[in-house]
Amino acid sequence: MKRQKMMGLAMVLFAGVVFGSMAGLKAICTGQGASNALLLTSRFFFLALLVLPRALKDGNLRQAFRNNWRPLVLLPVVEGLTPLLLYNAYDHLASGLVMTVHYLYPIIVTVWCVVAFREKLSFGKLLCLILSLVGIVMTVDLKSSGFTVFGLVLTLLSAVTYAAYIVGLAKAKFRGITNTQIAFFLGVGCFCVATVYGFVGCDLFKVAQVTPLGWLSVAVAGAIIACGALCFILGERSVGAQVASIASTMEPLVSIAIGVLFLSEVLTWRIALGCLLILTAVVLLPVFTAKEEKKA
């Protein structure tokens, strides 16, 4: 497997680790009075701030945006909508069902790439996809209470918007722009989406209730998640949509590990087997990808 793609896969896996810990980071921040809108704006603000110096060094940002304005306007919409849909889905649907339905997005990505872009789906990638999805189903509590049609619709939409973001980022025909500049414009665009959401829901005005520790938590969490988002953008541009979507199933694995290690959650045999299947898929993915490249 080429070094560049290996680095790209490592970045996507790291992003999965960061996103998998996002629920824990969110709980810490909201426990100190922070709202969902504040968390989202912080996350995207730090993403744009993190890459701004390099983006400026890479060339004229105005010209880069002018050459690629269509994907740079559309991608932040679907990327910014995904966490908004998920946060609201948790209020109307049991968390186990939210996780199961949302992680249908690798299937959506794969079908999208095969049907729309005539990409080949190798046996190795199909096997990894099946292993990861079966593993995800085994790691969640499908008997948990709480179900509404509205919550189910929100979760399905989150899977579709995230799949659209992954496919769009991989397939968009960017011209005269670097990956760092793409990350900057995505950060700015998603910041605008989150800000509009905050004003519509009036969440951004609820800052008086945030404690000093809450502000610190929001800043730290925003910076950490921004690093994960940047790694996903750079990594996905290297390995492609199918590989990135399958590798992203590391997220529930990390969430479970955090729950067992720090939140005193019980690790049953079914959850342990599901984690093993996800980990097997993640380990096999670069092996199968390397074999495909060698044959090519």
Supply the pLDDT for residue 157. Answer: 94
Supply the pLDDT for residue 243. Answer: 83
Supply the pLDDT for residue 78. Answer: 93
- Structure tokens belonging to residue 32: 């100190």
Distance from C-alpha of 254 to C-alpha of 270, rounded to nearest angstrom: 16
pLDDT tens, residue by residue, 156-175: 899 999 999 999 998 898 99
pLDDT tens, residue by residue, 1-17: 577 788 888 899 899 88
Supply the pLDDT for residue 94. Answer: 67
- Residues ≥6 apart with Cβ < 8 Å to 273: 135, 138
Distance from C-alpha of 61 to C-alpha of 151, rounded to nearest angstrom: 39
Distance from C-alpha of 89 to C-alpha of 94, rounded to nearest angstrom: 9
For the chain, give every domain's residue range: 3-295
Supply the pLDDT for residue 226. Answer: 92
Burial class from Cβ neighbours inside 10 Å (0-12, 13-18, 19+) for residue 172 reads: middle
Q: How many CB atoms lie within 10 A of CB 31?
A: 12
Supply the pLDDT for residue 258. Answer: 76
Residue ranges for the chain with pLDDT beneath 50: none
- Structure tokens belonging to residue 295: 């044959």
Supply the pLDDT for residue 38. Answer: 87
The answer to whether 247 and 285 have CB atoms below 8 angstroms apart is yes
**Helices (DSSP H) in the chain: which residue ranges?**
3-20, 22-30, 36-58, 61-67, 69-89, 95-102, 105-117, 123-139, 149-171, 179-200, 212-239, 241-247, 250-262, 269-295
Supply the pLDDT for residue 60. Answer: 93
Long-range contacts, 256-263 (Cβ 8 Å, 24+): 256/139, 257/20, 258/20, 258/21, 258/23, 258/24, 262/24, 263/24
Supply the pLDDT for residue 263. Answer: 63
Distance from C-alpha of 190 to C-alpha of 165, rounded to nearest angstrom: 12
Written as one string, the DSSP assignment of 197-214 is HHHHTTGGGTTTT--HHH
Supply the pLDDT for residue 205. Answer: 61
